[in-house]
Amino acid sequence: MKRLQRLGILSIFGLCLALLVNLGGCHDPSATSGGPSRLVVGLVSYDTGAASVEAYAPLQDYLGEALKAQVELEPVFNELRAVEQIQSQAWDLAFAPAGLAAIAVDDAQYVPLFPLQGSPQQRSVLVVPTDSTAEALSDLANEVIALGEPGSATGYYLPLYDLYGLTLGEIRFAPTPKTVLEWVAAGEVAAGAISEEGFQQYRNEFPADTFRVLHESRTINNGAVLLSPAIERNQQRLIEEAMKAAPASVASDAGYIANAAAPTFDSLIQLVDKVRPLEAKVREQPAVLTIEVEATDPEG
C-alpha cells in the first residue's frame, strides 16, 4: 500500500515536471529578454514632414517585432526643438545631424551607434546672390545674414565660427535649410549658411545662377543614430543588435549604415564649446561676433 502511495506521489511529481517543461518550451523568450516595452525614436524632418515619417515606418515595424516593444516615431521640424528633446532625454533613439549629435553626446551623454548615410564629410557653405559684390567674408560686415537654428552644425555652429570677428547688421534664423535659400534669392539677406549637401538638394528649385558660394567651412563627420543613456545596458545591447541585424532595405530607408563603426564628435564638440560664448550676441542688432576674454577666442 505504501509502495502504491509512493508511486502515486512520483506520478504526480512527474506530471507536474512535464507540465513545467512544456510551459517553458512554449514560453516566448522575448518576454524575459529584458527588451524595452516602449521606444521613442526622434528625428529631424525639416519641411519633409510626413515623407520622413513614412521612410522610417519599416524600421518602426521591424523594431516593434524584434524587440516586442511599442515603437513611436516623433519627428520635429528644426534642431531647436530637437535639442530640447535631447536635453530632457525624451528620445530613446535619435537620428541626429552632426550638430545635434555633438550636443547630445556632450551635454546629455547619448551614445553613438551607427553613422547616418550621406557623405561622411559634411561642410557648411555661405551662399550669396550671383550678382553680389561680396568676394570674402569680411565683405559681409554690417550686412544681414541668415543662419540655421541653434543645434545645426552646418547651419549655425560652423558659420558662426568662421564669421568670428565680424560685426553684422543682423542675424536671422531660418527654420529650414530651404528657407535660407528663399531669403537669399528674395534679397532679404545678403548671405545665408546652409550645408553643402542641402545646397545641392535645393538649389535646383530656383532659377539657374541664382546663387554662388562665397565660402566653404572645414569638414566634419556626418550625423549618427544615438541611444539614450537612460536605457538600461542590457536593453542597449538588444537594440543595437536588432538594428545591426535589420534587413538592408530597412536600414537604407531609415538612413543609417548598420555595418559601419559609430562616428566620433570630439573635434566638433570642441568647436561648439568655442562658439557658445558668441551665442549671447547673435540676436543683438548689430551682432558683434567677438569675445572680450581672449582665452575663449575661437581662433585661439
Cis peptide before 286 (omega within 30 of 0): yes
* Averaged pLDDT of the chain: 86
pLDDT of residue 10: 39
Please give the average per-residue pLDDT across 14-22, as a whole number.
39
pLDDT over threshold 60, residue 32: no
At residue 73, the 3 state secondary structure works out as strand
pLDDT over threshold 50, residue 23: no
Tell me which range, 14-18, 188-192, 262-266, is most confidently predicted by mean pLDDT: 188-192
What is the C-alpha separation between 273 and 36, in angstroms, rounded? 34
pLDDT over threshold 50, residue 200: yes
The total number of residues shown for the chain amounts to 300
What is the C-alpha separation between 140 and 190, in angstroms, rounded? 7
What is the C-alpha separation between 217 and 123, in angstroms, rounded? 6
Please give the average per-residue pLDDT across 197-225, as a whole number.
95
pLDDT of residue 36: 76
Report the percent of the chain where pLDDT is more than 70. Answer: 83
The cell numbers describing 235, all together, are 536593453
pLDDT over threshold 60, residue 124: yes
Please give the average per-residue pLDDT across 38-43, as a whole number.
94
Higher pLDDT, 97 or 5: 97
pLDDT over threshold 70, residue 26: no
φ and ψ at residue 288, rounded to 5 degrees: -95, 105
Question: Sign of dihedral through CA atoms 60, 93, 260, 79?
Answer: positive
Q: Other CB atoms closer than 10 Å to residue 89's CB: what's the count?
A: 16
Name the packing angle between helices 50-67 and 233-244 (round to 10°): 110
Please give the average per-residue pLDDT across 170-184, as a whole number.
96
At residue 125, the 3 state secondary structure works out as strand
pLDDT over threshold 70, residue 214: yes
Query: What is the phi-psi region of residue 218: left when phi exceeds 0, alpha when psi lies from -120 to 50, beta otherwise?
Result: beta
pLDDT over threshold 70, residue 224: yes
Q: Other CB atoms closer than 10 Å to residue 192's CB: what's the count?
A: 31
Domains in the chain, please, with CATH?
Answer: 35-118+222-264 (3.40.190.10), 121-220+272-296 (3.40.190.10)
What is the C-alpha separation between 225 and 190, in angstroms, rounded? 35
Q: What stretches of the chain show up as alpha helix (H) in DSSP?
A: 2-26, 50-67, 79-87, 98-108, 158-162, 177-185, 196-202, 233-244, 248-254, 266-275
Q: Of 96-100, 122-126, 138-142, 288-292, which gets the smallest average pLDDT?
A: 288-292
